[in-house]
Structure formats: C-alpha cells, structure tokens
Structure 1
Amino acid sequence: MPQQLEGTVAIITGAGSGIGRHMSLAFAAEGARVAVCDIAEDRARETAQMIAQAGGDALAIGMDVTDEAAVNDGVDQTVARWGRLDTMVANAGIQIVHPVEDFPYEEFRKVVDIHLHGSFLLTKASVRHMYPQKSGSLIYMGSVHSHEPSPLKSAYVAAKHAILGLARVMAREGGPHGVRSNIICPGFVRTPLVEKQIPEQARDLNISEQDVVEKIMLGRTVDHEFTTLQDVSDVAVFLAGFRSNALTGQSIVPSHGWYMA
C-alpha cells in the first residue's frame, strides 16, 4: 500500500512528547521526513531516534517557539537538510488554569505567547519556503476550546480561538500560492498536559478528580471516551496528504461529539 506522505517534508513543534511525538511517528510511518522540534532538545532527540529506529528519517531541533530567530533557524535547517517544506504542524502548547481574578498576568501571557505567537512565527517562517514552490499544508493544533469556553481557561481559550482565526486568514492568504490551511480541534486527549489539569481543576472547582474527568472532560461526549493520540494523528496525516486545495480553512473536531460543528 502506498505511503500517504512519501517524499514530503514536515516540521512539527512540541514534538518531544504527547500529541506532537505521536504525530511525528505517524508522519514518518507514512513516508514523511520529519523535523522534530521541542524546547527540550533532549526530548526532540528521543522522538527522532524513535523514528530512525523504525526506519524513518528525522532531524531533531531545539526550538523555543516564542523566539523568532530560533523558529527561523529551525525552518531553515529543515529546508537545508531536505530541500523543501511541505507540511507545518504548529503544535507546541502549555496549559495553566486559574479563575480570571487570580490569573497572574505573566502566566496568561506565557500561555498566549506559546500557543498563538508560536503558531504565527512558525507560519511566517514556513510560508517563505512554501509560497515559491506553490504548495504546502499549514496545520494548526486548536482544541474544542477554539469553539467553546470552559471555566478557568481564559488564556488557553483565548489563544485557541485566536489560532482558529489565524488558520482561516492563512487559508485566504495562502490560497493564491497553493498553500492549504486547516486546524485540528481535539477533545480531551489524556496527555501529560491534561493529566496536570485534573487536580488543578478539582482544586479550583472544589470537586473530586473523578468528577473532573467524568463531568467536565467527558460529560458532553457521546460515549464517555477520551480522544486518542491516534485519532489526532490520523487527522493530521489526512490533512497533510490531501491531494487538492479543496480542503482549506476548515476546523476538524475529533472530540467524540464533545463539540459538534
């Protein structure tokens, strides 16, 4: 069976763990050469080694996505290594939760900087290479919170709403250059980021951790199931490998029905 991404080049941020690592492995399994980027370069190297051990081709890059010079350098390294860039996945992110009245401004800014500003900087660096080749796929990591709010997550929800807007703008701007732009908006995926939220929300909402999982995270799903890493990776591979510019400006929501577009 032909590999969906054979011969393509992808750059993925936040790829040292969680969703980013799983997507990197999935892209490589489908034939992509993958630049694995993470602020923790040792974790990026671990992901790249996993790809190499499976027979794939990967480049590990230490990258702070809020540092424009670092982002530009990482994208340039990728193109220098493989001669092109076909897919960008802006996945780096963190989560900090507080009620607004107790939300330290520096923490609010940190969440927005990593999610939104990191996505912008990666986009800016990537399209410089995609536009001349008249092709490319921009993939943003949104959330069900790109569409709907949740208590305690003012920074995260604001950033994810903004990334949805950025993805739509890039569909308009990228279209004349043959570049597609889409956003994946998963439901709750049981990553370390989500595991960290469970006790924090239990504390701030004064409920049990079990209630956080069953009522807050899964209560609106149709089957009380978490979205999986594989679910998200499958959507990312599909978007990267789509064969025309028909699918652009879209929000894909793998959430077990948590949010229905």
Structure 2
Amino acid sequence: MTPTGAFPPPHALALDLGGRTALVTGAASGIGRACALRLAAAGAKVRAVDRDAEGVESLAEEAAGLTGGIEPHVLDLTDLDAAEHAAAGTDVLVNNAGLQLVRPIEEFPPDVFHTVLTVMLEAPFRLIRGALPHMYGQGWGRIVNVSSVHGLRASPYKSAYVAAKHGLEGLSKTAALEGAPHGVTSNCVNPGYVRTPLVERQLADQAQAHGIPVERVLTEVLLQDSAVKRLVEPEEVAEAVAYLCGPQASFVTGTSLVLDGGWTAH
C-alpha cells in the first residue's frame, strides 16, 4: 500500500450511548467530524461545535439517519466563557479542535502562539470545567482529549502545537485523578499524521521549513518516523474515541492511547 493509499474503515465496536449527550469540538471536518458521526451512530445526542457554520450544518444533515442526532453549534473557542457554557450538561466531552502553523521559533508570530494555546489548551480546560458538575452529579462521564504523537514527542518548527499538546496531556491526567472518585475517566488519543485538511494545509509550510519540494514532504517529513508508512484515517481515531467511551474502558483513565504507526517505538 502506498503512503497516500486510503485505508478501509475499521469495523465498528459495539457501543450504546443512547440517552447520553456528547460534545465534540472541531466537528466540521477531519477527526472531529468522524467522532461526531461515530458517537451519533452509537445513539448519543451530539453537540457539534465549530466556528465553521456551513461545515457543522452539513454534518447535521449527514447524520440525519443515525440513531442519535447532531446539533450544530457555531462557536469560536477563543470565546472561553461561551465554551465553558456550551459544555454544561454533557456526558461525553471530546476535545478535538486544533490549528497548526509551521515556523521556526524566531519567526513564530507571538499572537498565533497565543491563539494556539488558547484554542488547544485553555479552551479544553474551560470545557472540562463546564462539563464536570453534571458528570460528577450523575457519577459517570467520559473525557477524551484528542492529543497527538506531538503530545509525547517534539518536532522542529511546531513550538505552539507541541507546547499545547504536551499541556493537554497534563490537563488530561489531572482530570483523571480528580474524576476517578466520581466515575469520570479522562484520556488522550494520540494519532500520528491523520488524513485531514489540517495536515494537507501544512504541506507547503513543511516544504518551506525543510527546504524540500512539497511532493517529498509526506515521505521524508510526515512519515519519516512512522514504521507504518501511511496516514491514519479519521475513522480509526474515532473508533479509538468510541472505545474509551465504552464499558470495556471503565478502568482506563489518565493514559494516552497511541495510534502512531510505531513512531514512539524508536
């Protein structure tokens, strides 16, 4: 199989989230969209949060025939008060929204660094803060933070992204320790490079930063450290999220489920 070859979607794990409410951030595309559809298929009523109004509307239409439903919520996560309010009453929280800029530290715009940390670390904190009272009250909750192999390893030219993901790992573990007595688990899912618009948009930046043609970025940069030479599919990540929401994962908390094709085995 070539590195760019699509991988067939995984068989769906048996999961019943009927009567549960889930919130997924960054739901308009990529991993977030796959997660929202997967949780809705399991019966959850999904709040699909994204600043892309057209994207979440089309997502809701796509989910029309699923067991659960998807409610589009247009929200910019830099509005932290609104983010915390949106999470109230949720049983399952999937912190997925992210953004990326590839630049050397000395050229990295401070305002972009601030925005990345706000959306990818401070917003998850506020969302967790908003969700926990309901979760604690009912004695059950699932927090899944979509981290990255970059939550465990660093790469050059990604200072903001790596810093945010490393911070998210610590936040997730703290939530796990605090939530355990209340029946709430908190875990990270750590994929390598996923076939998403976020990855596609950084190819040109990576080529410039590394001084190579765009067509060489996938094999020489993105997949260089991966033993499995292909991109991860969004549906594979969504299935890992589904596993962490199921009863078979009730003893799994405070950890990172790594889907990196062997990257961290080095």
TM-score normalised to structure 1 length: 0.92
**Deviating more after overlay: 28-37 vs 1-10:** 1-10
User: Counterpart of 1:110?
Assistant: 115
User: Counterpart of 1:59?
Assistant: 71
User: Counterpart of 2:105?
Assistant: 100
Shift of 1:70: 1.3
The 1:28–1:53 alpha-carbon spacing in structure 2 relative to 1, beyond 3 Å, is same
Question: In 1, Cα distance between the equivalents of 2:265 and 2:131?
Answer: 31
Shift of 1:48: 1.5
User: Counterpart of 2:32?
Assistant: 20
Instruction: Give deviations 1:176-208, integer Å, cap 9, x for gaps.
Output: 111100000100002111011111110111012
Shift of 1:72: 3.1
SS in 1 for 2:191: coil
Shift of 1:73: 3.2
Structure 1 segments of 4+ aligned residues over 3 angstroms from their partners: 1-4, 53-56, 242-245
C-alpha RMSD of the superposition: 1.7
Shift of 1:123: 0.6
Shift of 1:55: 5.0
For the Cα contact (< 8 Å) 1:137–1:179, is it kept in 2?
yes
Work out whether 1:230 is the aligned partner of 2:242.
no
For the Cα contact (< 8 Å) 2:15–2:246, is it kept in 1?
no
Amino acid at match of 1:13: T
Question: In 2, Cα distance between the equivalents of 1:73 and 1:111?
Answer: 21
For the Cα contact (< 8 Å) 1:65–1:122, is it kept in 2?
no
Amino acid at match of 2:134: H
Question: In 2, Cα distance between the equivalents of 1:220 and 1:55?
Answer: 39
Structure 2 counterparts to residues 85-164 of structure 1, below 5 A? 85-164=90-169
Question: In 2, Cα distance between the equivalents of 1:229 and 1:14?
Answer: 13
Shift of 1:3: 4.1
Query: Structure 2 unaligned runs (5+)?
Result: 1-12
For the Cα contact (< 8 Å) 2:53–2:74, is it kept in 1?
yes
Instruction: Give deviations 1:216-254, integer Å, cap 9, x for gaps.
Output: 111222221111111101100000113464100010111
- If asked which structure has higher relative contact order (CA below 8 Å, sep 6+), I would say 2
Question: In 1, Cα distance between the equivalents of 2:169 and 2:35?
Answer: 20
Amino acid at match of 1:125: G
For the Cα contact (< 8 Å) 1:100–1:154, is it kept in 2?
yes
User: Counterpart of 1:208?
Assistant: 213
Amino acid at match of 1:28: A
Amino acid at match of 1:169: T
User: Counterpart of 1:82?
Assistant: none
Q: Percent identity at matched positions?
A: 37
The 1:200–1:134 alpha-carbon spacing in structure 2 relative to 1, beyond 3 Å, is same
